[in-house]
Structure 1
Amino acid sequence: MQQGLGASAAIYFASNIINAMVPFALLPILTRVLGPQEYGYVTLFTIFCASATAIISLGIGGAFTRQYYYLEKPQFGVFAGTSILLILLVTLAAITLFQPIALLYGDRLPLPVLWINQAILSAGALALCNAWLACTQVRSRPLHYGLFQVSMTFLNVGISLLLVVLLDMQGLGRVLGQTVAFAVFAMIAVYSLWRSGWLIFRLDRGYLRWLVLFGLPIIPHSISSVIISMSDRMILAHLGSAAALGIYAVAAQVALIMAMAVDSLNKAYVPWLYARLAMDQASVRSSLVGFSYLYFALVLLVAGILSILLPPFIVLLAGPEYVAARNYLPWLLFAGAFTGMYYMVGLYINYAAKNKFLSYASGATAILMPVACYVLIQINGPLGAAQGALLGQVALFVLTWFFSARAYPMPWFVK
């Protein structure tokens, strides 16, 4: 590794901070220009894009991470080439299959057909970007990772501001801004892999078969993950209004600070953890368990502190129309903490290449969480969406921990 765990985590966190601060800077503009209802439609676009990404990516980012440790560079290049071609083929198939649906039911869809087409293209481009990011992460190059991520966000926001504010394209401008930014950086990602020798454009049947067998079990998990991460907003959109969804989305955007923190450590932790698991030593496994428990306590403490500090800034950030968003923040911040705890235990399942266990845990949670959100919204109004989000993340963590112990036994409860 070029950096230790602490240094890598700091770099990832810094890039995540910059990456999230740019949308935060955009948030007061979008909320005032678009208003709660139009902002709610943009949130629906984000949900659809996340759903499409879950299917199109086929878990290829995770496949890159795992195969890096098993293949020599020339072999990995062919594997990467097969992966990139597979993403392109799946994206093309998704666009093609959607067109008859658009012709028959375009007026009944929750979003305009153009927006949905843009979401599919964004998903394909983001899958390519994520493949590059996975390759960069596993090679322990956090600076390259952060520069790519932040630059893509700046381009995304820059084009969006141009289209939304200067050209008055409203929500469509935000959609087009994302699509163009993702497409540009997808091309940069592919070129970078090819130029550095990590990509050889060849469709290898053996690797293609491996990718399909690796990726298909992940699709239910990926879709379940989208349901888990978005069902609070999907159910709220169904039971409430676009305006209520827009207000809730602002709280979710602010709560991303917790997600940034746990995601940063997770990115640095993956290669650090896998290198130590490869030692296959009981003392190392015991120390990893101790580190995990310390991490659990830390993220819960941080969530508690942020729950006190952040709510007063909502009105200043988004405007008086979004004052109700502060009520959702504590619930969403603790949901983010449990997401980080889920990451910690889920990595052992990835290392053991037993992805079916991830599907079991996420599938059960994907059933529980929408039901919980529906019931809690009926009882407590929009606040029930945030409560359901927390309940879902707690369930995901507990179930994943259970299956993780089966996939890769660790001394979790041994003194």
Structure 2
Amino acid sequence: MSTAIEPVVVEPVVVRPSITSARSLWRSWIVYAVSSVASRLVGFLMLPIYTRVLSPEEYGIRAMVTVGVDLVGMVCSLGLTTAMIRHYTGDGAEARRHPEAVSTAYATGALVLGSGALLGMLGAPWLAMLVLGDAAYAGYLRLGLVSLFFVNTMEIGLAYLRVRQRAATVAVVGLSTLGLTLATNLVLVVWLRQGVAGILYGEIFTFGLCSLILARLTLREVGVRVSPALARRMVVYGAPLTLMPFAWLLVNRSDGVFLTHHGSLGATGIYALAIQCAQVLLLAVVLPFRDAWEPGQFEVARQPDGGRTYQRMFQTFAFTVVIAAFTLAIGAEDVIGVMAAPRFHAAATVVPILLAAHVVMGISLFFNSVLLVKNRTPLLGGVALVTAAVNVTANALLVPRFLAVGAACSRLIALMVMAALTWWIAERLSPQRLDFVAFAKVVGLAVAGFGVSRLLPDETLIVSLALKAVLVLAVVGLSIVIGAVDRRDVRHLLTLLLERLRLQRARPASGTVR
């Protein structure tokens, strides 16, 4: 492997639509969202099978294995994906691309992740005792660590595709991994009844294959030019961001640890299903937006009218994520009642609280942008530490008394503290004048609509879903009327969706011409 000699080589500037426009951000967001929704829909359709093949205890084991693996991944991530995007897109007013940032991130990530996974395997019995209460589960953790290596290195390649505005390619990769995961689960879990081990072996095969293919294609395009000096700068920028996965790990997983100790693995498994249901919002709205916004936020900051783009995206995203959360909250009980076995139905109780937490997490992406653009990543690390402390404290106080409801409330409280503190810091670095009045309007309507949904009479599934669909349309209509979202942005989004539908219909015809 060769080492680049400064000055570093840069890519020629190519004339193309800028990712910094609101329209191009929306287009990428829609592509990522459609891919995520398709993936999540297939996962939900498999729930009746999985919940009859796996017991609540096995669901609990799978959830806690993820906790142990994430502990290792948290330490070894070093914020390299975000650092790679930051250094690839350039700093200050420059618009040059730095392809050596990609190969340097690959080399650094493989070295650090490989070392961390190896150390984690050696300490797997101790880690299993910590998160599962029994060293006998160490084998599951070792399998999870192998999967972790491939998942994280694959993310570097996906980040490169996102920064190059190849949303469709990212979607194809995501759907391909989904298809392979389902196929391996059907064989190993459903047919061969390998349980949790079958899930983990399937992940190793799927992500290992996809990660290696993506790395080969990416490095063939950008070249293998590794700069030790650049690696050091990326680590300095990204290392404080390691504390953010740490905070998210505690927010996302420590509730399961408290539930396991104060309740049972069965209770943890049911709560894990509630988390899985609430993650539909995360995977369909929040993370697709993050994938579109992460490479664009640095370029938006360089635009003369970047402040306006920032404000428009905040208002549109806030409206979308609140309406989506409201829709999922009022439909959770009906969906879980149909898709899951009766012993899992209690999961519907805490889904609305978890959805509210995801809304807060999504909104905080905008506050984080200011600190990332200003290269103030240590401040984000400090916020992460405060968030972790609040979450652990809330879990210790609430879970022993309220179990799953207490765990969900602890998550919401911690994320609200995180968002408020990040916003306070961001406002002092660079005030953005976000429209919180419009945000409050749509939140108020959603809360009122949720209250109305609790008063609806018990009906058949079809009637119940129809009534709730009308309620969602009413909240959307009222939100537009009272100015919770810019009507021009609504028209733009509808236009983009209609364009995509027309393209889908036109493809068969164009194929016949050939």
TM-score normalised to the size of structure 1?
Answer: 0.91
- Aligned twin of 1:62: 82
Contact 1:47–1:230 (Cα < 8 Å) also in 2: yes
Q: Is the alpha carbon distance of 1:309 and 1:37 closer, same or farther for their aligned partners in structure 2, counting shifts above 3 Å?
A: same
Q: State the AA in 1 paired with 2:141.
A: I
Match of 1:275 among 299, 310, 317: 299
How far apart are 1:310 and its partner, in Å? Answer: 2.1
SS for the counterpart of 1:4 is helix
- Aligned twin of 1:225: 248
How far apart are 1:243 and its partner, in Å? Answer: 0.7
Give the Cα separation in 2 of the matches to 1:107 and 1:325.
27
Give the Cα separation in 2 of the matches to 1:73 and 1:343.
23
Give the Cα separation in 2 of the matches to 1:340 and 1:171.
31
Contact 1:335–1:390 (Cα < 8 Å) also in 2: yes
Q: Is the alpha carbon distance of 1:166 and 1:238 closer, same or farther for their aligned partners in structure 2, counting shifts above 3 Å?
A: same
Q: State the AA in 1 paired with 2:271.
A: Y
- Aligned twin of 1:175: 200
1:371 correspondence with 2:396: no
Gaps of 5+ in 2: 1-16, 438-514
How far apart are 1:49 and its partner, in Å? Answer: 2.7
Q: State the AA in 2 paired with 1:25.
A: L
1:205 correspondence with 2:241: no
- Aligned twin of 2:191: 166
- Aligned twin of 2:326: 304
Q: How many residues align?
A: 411
Q: Is the alpha carbon distance of 1:74 and 1:52 closer, same or farther for their aligned partners in structure 2, counting shifts above 3 Å?
A: farther
SS for the counterpart of 2:78 is coil
Match of 2:114 among 77, 88, 92: 92
Match of 1:323 among 331, 345, 355: 345
TM-score normalised to the size of structure 2?
Answer: 0.74
Give the Cα separation in 1 of the matches to 2:202 and 2:379.
37
Q: Is the alpha carbon distance of 1:230 and 1:275 closer, same or farther for their aligned partners in structure 2, counting shifts above 3 Å?
A: same
Q: Which moved more, 1:285-294 or 1:242-251?
A: 285-294
Q: Which moved more, 1:164-173 or 1:77-86?
A: 77-86
Gaps of 5+ in 1: none
Give the Cα separation in 1 of the matches to 2:130 and 2:223.
42
Give the Cα separation in 1 of the matches to 2:180 and 2:298.
34
Give the Cα separation in 2 of the matches to 1:271 and 1:75.
12
How far apart are 1:293 and its partner, in Å? Answer: 4.2
Contact 2:297–2:373 (Cα < 8 Å) also in 1: no
SS for the counterpart of 1:255 is helix
Q: State the AA in 2 paired with 1:368.
A: V
- Aligned twin of 2:43: 23
Match of 1:134 among 135, 145, 159: 159
Q: Is the alpha carbon distance of 1:73 and 1:105 closer, same or farther for their aligned partners in structure 2, counting shifts above 3 Å?
A: same
Q: Which moved more, 1:30-39 or 1:152-161?
A: 152-161
Give the Cα separation in 1 of the matches to 2:128 and 2:410.
31
1:44 correspondence with 2:68: no
Q: Is the alpha carbon distance of 1:387 and 1:13 closer, same or farther for their aligned partners in structure 2, counting shifts above 3 Å?
A: same
1:386-401 to structure 2, matched below 5 A, reads 386-401=408-423
Q: Which moved more, 1:327-336 or 1:77-86?
A: 77-86
Q: Is the alpha carbon distance of 1:345 and 1:319 closer, same or farther for their aligned partners in structure 2, counting shifts above 3 Å?
A: same
How far apart are 1:366 and its partner, in Å? Answer: 0.7
- Aligned twin of 2:269: 246
1:410 correspondence with 2:432: yes
Contact 2:120–2:145 (Cα < 8 Å) also in 1: no
For 1:357-381, what per-residue CA distance to the aligned partner results, in whole angstroms no more than 9, with x for missing partners? 2112121011101221221122222
For 1:55-112, what per-residue CA distance to the aligned partner results, in whole angstroms no more than 9, with x for missing partners? 2222111012112212999983433222212222223322332354347787777262
Contact 2:54–2:195 (Cα < 8 Å) also in 1: yes
Q: State the AA in 1 paired with 2:243.
A: P
Q: Is the alpha carbon distance of 1:408 and 1:192 closer, same or farther for their aligned partners in structure 2, counting shifts above 3 Å?
A: farther
Contact 1:307–1:329 (Cα < 8 Å) also in 2: yes
How far apart are 1:278 and its partner, in Å? Answer: 0.6
Contact 1:357–1:407 (Cα < 8 Å) also in 2: no
Contact 1:76–1:199 (Cα < 8 Å) also in 2: no
Q: Is the alpha carbon distance of 1:50 and 1:101 closer, same or farther for their aligned partners in structure 2, counting shifts above 3 Å?
A: closer
Q: State the AA in 2 paired with 1:124.
A: F
Q: Which is bigger in relative contact order (C-alpha 8 A, separation at least 6)?
A: 1
Give the Cα separation in 2 of the matches to 1:108 and 1:301.
39
Match of 1:187 among 190, 196, 212: 212
How far apart are 1:324 and its partner, in Å? Answer: 0.4
SS for the counterpart of 2:46 is helix
Q: Which moved more, 1:179-188 or 1:34-43?
A: 179-188
SS for the counterpart of 1:123 is helix
Give the Cα separation in 1 of the matches to 2:193 and 2:390.
41
Larger Rg: 2
Match of 1:237 among 242, 257, 260: 260
How far apart are 1:291 and its partner, in Å? Answer: 4.3
Q: Which moved more, 1:31-40 or 1:288-297?
A: 288-297
1:342 correspondence with 2:367: no
Q: Is the alpha carbon distance of 1:394 and 1:103 closer, same or farther for their aligned partners in structure 2, counting shifts above 3 Å?
A: closer
How far apart are 1:334 and its partner, in Å? Answer: 1.0
- Aligned twin of 2:491: none
Contact 2:185–2:202 (Cα < 8 Å) also in 1: yes
Q: Which moved more, 1:272-281 or 1:218-227?
A: 272-281
Contact 1:286–1:411 (Cα < 8 Å) also in 2: no
For 1:176-207, what per-residue CA distance to the aligned partner results, in whole angstroms no more than 9, with x for missing partners? 11122111111012111122x2241x442212
1:151 correspondence with 2:151: no
Q: Is the alpha carbon distance of 1:65 and 1:324 closer, same or farther for their aligned partners in structure 2, counting shifts above 3 Å?
A: same
Contact 1:30–1:39 (Cα < 8 Å) also in 2: no
Contact 2:88–2:97 (Cα < 8 Å) also in 1: no
Contact 1:235–1:370 (Cα < 8 Å) also in 2: no
Give the Cα separation in 2 of the matches to 1:386 and 1:115.
26
Q: State the AA in 1 paired with 2:302.
A: A
Give the Cα separation in 2 of the matches to 1:247 and 1:215.
35
Q: Is the alpha carbon distance of 1:314 and 1:66 closer, same or farther for their aligned partners in structure 2, counting shifts above 3 Å?
A: same
Q: CA RMSD in A?
A: 2.6
Contact 1:45–1:115 (Cα < 8 Å) also in 2: yes
For 1:136-192, what per-residue CA distance to the aligned partner results, in whole angstroms no more than 9, with x for missing partners? 111111101111112112212211221112212111101111122111111012111
Q: State the AA in 2 paired with 1:191.
A: R
